[in-house]
Structure formats: structure tokens, C-alpha cells
Structure 1
């Protein structure tokens, strides 16, 4: 069977992708959903971007995974970009799921509106541990705007503080994403309000991939909770040959 590695976003961990993974497995995929270093409950929140990327590269190497489809959701786009840069021979397609597509020397903070970056910094400084949580009003109206309120609260209660350094650190890449010799796909949720639509995911970030397969769905940012079957179907379409 073909192998899918799906990398979660900020404040999440790999366990929250279980429903999506189950549907993907029903479509014939072998699915891995590792947790990025620093995103597990109770983990050290001083982790930087390089170590976070390294944790997923180490997971792939430890499980001897090859010929994989590597997907990243949101912040996970930073991770899969760095992983591909380190081990391109193991990856046959990259899938960005409403995800950040950085160029060399850029941070996630560089790719969001300046007030967002300032808010992240302020929250991390207030927390004092290097990690910070997304405020619930932003989660409910931005990330979860297309979902039920009870489900939004239930999902929010499963999130973990995120290491701020992974947002502030600059990524190091050998070449631009448009030059990568690998299959590339972008999943764009048309109801995704996690980023303002004036500075949205597609085409602002997706077009950095050069030639890519575009899969558009009606979902918001947190389809993994709200519509896991639909999310799996989008990943299947984005990842298949």
C-alpha cells in the first residue's frame, strides 16, 4: 500500500488526526500521524524549528519510510518543507493542507499579518515557559467558524501549548519550493478563516509551489474535527498518483 505521513498543525498533536487517518486507511493507505517535538502534552516548550523538523525526519528514518506522501496542515507546512529539504529521496509527493509554504530564511511569523506575530510573541512572554495557547475567541471564530460550538469547545480542550520559537525561527532551505523535483499538491478550504482572506492561503502561498495540484473543498481550518471523512477524501485526491 502507499504510505501517507500527515503532520499536524500548531497546538495539535498527532493523536487528533486519528479520525482522518482511519478514513484514509479505509481508502487503502498506510497512515502515520507523528507528533512534532514540543507539541506533546507536558513537553518542553523551548523547542525551536530546527529540532521540530528534525523530530519528523527522525521518525521517517526510524520507521524506514520511503516513497511517501508527506502532508502538513497549517504550521505543518513549515515542518514538511524542512523535512523534504533533508531527505528528498524518501518523498514522492508533498501535500500542503491550508499550510505555510516558506522560502529560505523565512519564519512562520513572516508569513502571517504583523498583528498576529505580535500577539503570538505577547502570549508567549506572558506564559513564561516558551509556549502559548491560542485564545478561545480566536479559535472559535477563526479556526472553528464553520463548526458547532460544543464541538469547538471539546476540540479546544484537547489542544496543547505551542513552542513559540518554532514560529519565530527562520527556516533554512537549499532551494525554493518551486524548484523542488517532487510532486506537489495544495488543499485549500474555501471557508478557512484562520488567516484573513485578504492575506489568505491560496493563491498567496500555494503559488510558491510552482506546478502543483490544487484541491479545493468547502471546509474551514479544522476539518480534522468537523469533517474528518471529507478531509481524508481531500488528502486522498491530493496524494494519489
Structure 2
């Protein structure tokens, strides 16, 4: 258990009466056409999440560890249904990239190159989890193309830190042991860890379905210390989205997402939700999309 902060945001109930997931035969990925799917009719007809007067934004969504660009499929669909322009870059060492011997700089380069190739400007650059460290470094390289940075339960590293430096000792030790036991310098995520930390609000059946997408994570980028001096000079507007049931980092004792990470942004906008680290992108993507919109709008 972890200590909640004193504010008590409204708990969102399941927003769709006809919104559901189901298996469709054998599948290798829960995002594939033959895997778990959502009814588009829910995204198109549920007026509680449709806001015709929304400001149209350009989102670039950067996923975190043990995930790939498909992490955003449902959220991206919900944002696009509102008329937003949405991009979900894949970065080095993930997705279909067989090379797991990558660096943090290679990952950042993937995201920056994606943005430059499409000549995207005035973007809302969103980072989830490990993706927070990626958008920190990306922002240093293309600050003139970014309208706002949005960190969703994401690492905001101090200058000279690594992601591993912000992990609780027990978690870091587990990752180091898993890394040492791998043959390709990756960190596999055991199901018990995934279940309790990443999808703690999901049913067991959902957790097992979601786990089929989890792949070993390249270890090196998690332990690299980053030079972030330039990041902390940027005037770019920033937001932090905090889901208070997220159990990946314990709250208090020098850890946690908010305010431990978020306060490092200086002046920032705080948006709060009631989900965990992973589940709601699958079960309530329109809710997640709305939170990201609230974080990104003017």
C-alpha cells in the first residue's frame, strides 16, 4: 500500500455501457486485429467524452519501458476521434527492432528523427514512464517545435541521474538480477511484478491478456546517467498527469510520481486521474485521452 495525497479527485466510473474487450481467437499481440479490440462505436457515440469545442492539437505520444508504440492505440484513436493529429513513434530497441543493444541517446534520436521527418511543429510531446526521460532529452534538441511537454506518471530526472537512480532499492536490485541473468543485456518483466505494480487495478484475466504484449526491456538506457543541464533552462510549458493508483513507484520516502517527480518541473500544470500505470490505456482510453488533452490544451 502507499499513502495517498490529501486531494480527493472524483473517481471516474467505467464510461461506456457498451465498451468491452474480448479475445478473438489465437493472437500474439493484444493490439493486433485478431486480438483484443474495442468497439469504435463507443468512441464515436459516447457524448460524455466528446467535446466539440476542443482545441485541435498535435500530439506525439512516447511510450515507456516493456512497451512499444501500440501501447497508445486506444488513446490515439480516442484523440483522433476528437479531431486531433496524433503520432506514436517507435524508438530504438523496441517494437520490431531486433537490436536490443541500444543507448538512451539512440532512443532519443529515434523520436527526434521521427518528428523532423514529418516536419511536425507546435506539438504536445507526451512521455509515459521511462518516456519522460526521453522527452526531456528530445526537448533539448528541438525546443522550437514543442508547444508543451506532458509527463504522464513519468520520470523527470535531475541532471546527472539515471532512471535506475529513482527506483526503490528492492526494485532496482530485482532489475539488476534480471539483467545479469539475461543473454542479451535485457530485463524481462516477470508476471508477478507486472501484475502488482503495472496493472494493479485490472482483473487477473485482463492482466494476463495485457502481459502478452510485454517484451524484455533493453537494460542499458535505464542505467545511463543523463546530462540534463539544457533541459532545466528551457522555458517550454510543462504539465504532469498523475494517476494516483499507479503503483510502479511507492509514494513517500523519497520516491513517487507526484510531487516527487512533478515538482522538478518548476511551474507546471497538474492533472489527476484515478487509474494505474497501464490498465486504463486498454479499458478506458477515452478517459486517458481526455486527461492528456486537459494537460496539453492552452
TM-score, with structure 2 as normaliser: 0.78
Q: Which one of the candidate residues 178, 185, 188 is aligned to 1:133?
A: 188
Q: Does 1:64 align with 2:158?
A: no
Q: Does 1:233 align with 2:287?
A: no
Residue matched to 1:195: 249
Highest RCO, 1 vs 2 (Cα 8 Å, sep ≥ 6): 1
Question: How far did 1:175 drift?
Answer: 3.0
TM-score by length of structure 1 reads: 0.96
User: What residue number does 2:92 align with?
Assistant: 37
Question: Partners of 1:38 and 1:5 in 2: how far apart?
Answer: 19
After superposition, give the CA deviation of every residue in 1:154-181 in whole Å (9 maximum; x if it has no partner): 111012211100101111223353x421
Distance apart, 1:43 and its partner CA = 2.0
Distance 1:205 1:174 in 2: 16
- Residue matched to 1:51: 106
Matches within 5 A, 1:125-204: 125-177=180-232, 179-198=233-252, 199-204=255-260
Q: Is the 8 A contact 2:139 2:231 kept in 1?
A: no
Q: Computing the radius of gyration over CA atoms, which structure comes out larger, 1 or 2?
A: 2
Q: Do the aligned partners of 1:184 and 1:212 also contact (CA within 8 Å) in 2? A: yes
Within 1, Cα distance between the matches of 2:179 and 2:101?
Answer: 10
Q: Distance in 2 between matches of 1:20 and 1:139?
A: 21
- Separation of aligned partners in 2, 1:104 and 1:143: 27
1:89-108 superposed matches below 5 A: 89-108=144-163
User: In structure 1, what is the Cα distance between the partners aligned to 2:100 and 2:180?
Assistant: 12
CA distance in 2, matches of 1:133, 1:34: 22
Residues 189 and 215 of structure 2 are in contact (CA less than 8 Å); yes or no, is this contact kept in structure 1?
A: no
Q: Does 1:81 align with 2:136?
A: yes
Q: 2:73 aligns to what SS in structure 1?
A: helix
State the alpha-carbon separation in 2 of the partners of residues 166 and 24 from structure 1.
30
Q: How far has the Cα of 1:42 moved from its partner?
A: 5.2
CA distance in 2, matches of 1:104, 1:197: 22
Higher helix share: 1
Q: Deviations over 1:193-240 (max 9, x none)?
A: 111122210000000000000000111111212321111110010011
Q: CA deviation at 1:34?
A: 1.0
The count of residues paired between Structure 1 and Structure 2 equals: 240
Structure 1 CA distance for aligned equivalents of residues 170 and 222 of structure 2: 14
Superposed CA offset, 1:133-163 (max 9, x none)? 2111111111100112111111110122111
Tell me, in whole angstroms, the C-alpha distance in 2 between the residues paired with 1:42 and 1:94: 26
Cross-structure match for 2:272: 216
Give the gaps of 5 or more residues in structure 2. 1-55
Q: Is the 8 A contact 1:69 1:239 kept in 2?
A: yes
Q: Partners in 2 of 1:192 and 1:235 — Cα distance? A: 16
Once the 2 structures are TM-superposed, how far is the Cα of residue 16 of structure 1 from its aligned partner? 2.1
